[in-house]
Amino acid sequence: MVDDLHCGLARAGYPRLRAGHGYLFMAIAAEPKTAIALARELGISKQAIAQLLEVLLEERYVERRTNPDDRREQLIRLTGKGRAVTRKAARILDEIEQRWAMDVGSDTLARLQEAAQTIATAEPGAARPIW
């Protein structure tokens, strides 16, 4: 799905976006955050965040703004272009899901999505059967 999404984004004029960028988009979609907060939330280093942000800043998907509550902090927030690419990504994902539903059936796809959500939200280290 991620590969299909990024192929679709490249065809739509967003060739430099990668999976890691999507996590940043999701993390700041609701509210601006500092680079340090993003690194903590995504569980990656400040250096990795800086590398991901470099492309997004260059392409003007995000911008840095001084935090009005703490002028020492720089908040990262989506620009209009960043919001546009998130809407495009959502449409591409909807198209992928529709195609998959046609391939395997809506019920099977729903069960797959439910299982993926269960796995994604499972507590780390929780007891799991050994195969």
- The pLDDT-based confidence of 120 (bands split at 50, 70, 90) is confident
| Fold type of domain 2-119 | Arc Repressor Mutant, subunit A (1.10.10)
With 0.85 as the threshold, say if the pTM is over it: no
What average pLDDT does range 115-128 have in this prediction?
74
Question: Cβ atoms within 10 A of the Cβ of 99, count?
Answer: 11
Q: Of 100, 123, 122, 121, whose CA–CA distance to 112 is shortest?
A: 100
**pLDDT tens digits for range 43-72:** 999 999 999 999 999 999 999 999 989 999
